[in-house]
Structure 1
Amino acid sequence: MFTGIVEELGEVVRITQTAGDSALVAVRGPLVTSDARHGDSIAVNGVCLTVVDVSDGTFTADVMGETLRRSALGALRAGDQVNLERAAALNSRLGGHLVQGHVDGVGEVIAREPAAQWETVRFRLPAALARYVVEKGSITVDGVSLTVAGVGPDWFAVGLIPTTLKLTTLGARRVGDPVNLEVDVLAKYVERLLGARLADPAAPDADLRGGLSAVDPRGGLPGAVAPGEVA
């Protein structure tokens, strides 16, 4: 588990194709390797990878073909910078939000709008992920925990402060570049739980189903008086 707070910018040293469609990636990151050992987890651009070796500030990790296909890691080349974060400790601060390091899909930078103190960046996202993204909610972009500033049918926007622009790869992302996306896992759990309960007529939580079905389509609770109406 991670928090989406990037610890350092690493550099891809090499990517070696291995058996089948897998690869072995070597990444230089003096900070994240300072206490890393075989078997530890390090997020690389938001993808949780398992350390297989550490030497002189560089760690190597196996990347399965499925991961290469479902994320933007397959587009990395030697010399590219990457966002790095070690797995969170139970006593660490949760500065961002709960991040699993399991990429849900690949998005694309579609617009950048610089301002005096920050920059608004808009991303296109897969249609299947759009329902999990809400304004003021959280989303992970290339391993960076961000607050959603705006949403559309197939896009969302975030505001990047100078620190984020300087200390992560997002400052150098150009229009058309792919990015790894992970939506808030809590949203997926809520959808799963409510869907299962509402679909099962024998479930013991009929009160929950009844309460949800009785919600006024205008967004109010049963018997509630809408603004401007008289009870």
Structure 2
Amino acid sequence: MMAAKILSYIVLSAMAVFLVSAFDPSPLQDFCVAVNDSRIGVFVNGKFCKDPNLTTADDFYFTGLNIPRNTSNPIGSVATLITADTYHGLNTLGIAFARVDFAPNGLNPPHTHPRASEILTVLEGTLYAGFVTSNPDNRLITKVLYPGDAFVFPLGLIHFQLNIGNTSAVAFAAFSSQNPGRIDIANAVFGSTPPLSNDVLTKAFQVDEDVIRDLQSQF
């Protein structure tokens, strides 16, 4: 009986380790620069890898992060995500990053990254940033960030940033996945295709159908 319990524990522990590392697996080579031409590459983890002997410094180089983005949209912010799709040297390395620009009072709206934790560093401006813990607490954890400050958002939790300064703001974010994904809460709930049932939304938000229809029209 004791041997069976020990074996069960070992199996469960192995499964836990497997599940924890079930995404962005550790690479088995120094690098795997992504290419779109299957004739000169080997298919690995969703991408074709360039022959390592043909790689150059340019495969690991990216420029343009100093260029301000256009924030003239309804939320007053724009996040420029850099992943292996556009920066091929990131492929299989388990990382990605983004530049986030904010107009005055601009908002990076509540969203989640289902496959990555995020660390945000403020370069310019003043941001009010925070995240909400999971059930049952749903505790709001926030901080006002100034240039040089950093704040971490744990994997999968809803988080946001709001520019509370009178000038534009800029921040850089780093992610623990080459494909962190993003789910904007309002867009997903009120702008899904096809739309969520009004019965679902009225009961979930405890409002009448007119409010739901108005919100859906925004997305």
> TM-score over 0.5 for the alignment?
no
TM-score using structure 1 length: 0.29
Question: What TM-score do the two structures reach when normalised by structure 2?
Answer: 0.30
The structure in which a higher percent of residues are strand is 1
